[in-house]
Amino acid sequence: MRMVDYPAALRPDRVTVIAYGALLSEPSSRLTFPSLTNFRLVRVRNVRRLIAALCVEPAEGCSFVAAAFDVVLDDAQREAFCARETGYAIVEAPFHGLDAGEESRYHHFSLSIALGQHKSLPHVWGWARDSGLLPADVYLRHCERAVDERARPAHTGTRPSDGAVRPDRRTTLSEYLAGGARERVMAVRPPESMAERFGG
């Protein structure tokens, strides 16, 4: 690919990636970006996390906790990142530190552009609001543990489930877990083939 073919957010040599899902933990992020630096947790505002659908979408007044880290990119890494994020628009977006005094800055994160419309990923997106779709237990456990280990108890309201919803856009993951699912979710263990990525 030519430089002009890459998303504008990935063209600088040094970028900050805002990540969610499997990349919420530093060990998992390093499987994709071994040389990353300055790994930290941040809050992305006016964006809603659809955790069961593996994506985010613009939503005024919503927010979610994500990971941010700095990487130096060459073309091979840009191409690999674009291949990994098939079906997502890689765009510039503001984020905020978890500490109230930290100012907002523009950096970069992956934003799903095609919830329910991307033809190459029909098994991921396209779920109706009344589908009843739930996140995989092992995936949700990984997200919850990654943030717990890094942010709590120093910060409140930082669980991924605090800012994430099911496809109905009404039921938060916090409500889902409080309804009796938390014990089951936190007790599950990933299969051996996924143990390194999802925290063992």
Residue 36: predicted pLDDT: 94
Q: Which stretches of the chain drop beneath a pLDDT of 50?
A: 106-119, 153-155
CA distance linking residue 98 with residue 43, whole number of Å: 6
Residue matched to tokens 């936190």: 186
Q: How many CA atoms lie within 13 A of 91 on its CB side?
A: 14
Residue 184: predicted pLDDT: 94
Percent of the residues in the chain that have a pLDDT greater than 90, as a whole number? 10
pTM to 2 decimal places: 0.79
Residue 159: predicted pLDDT: 60
Tokens of 6: 């890459």
Tokens of 194: 């996924």
**Domains of the chain with bracketed CATH:** 3-185 (3.10.490.10)
Residue 39: predicted pLDDT: 92
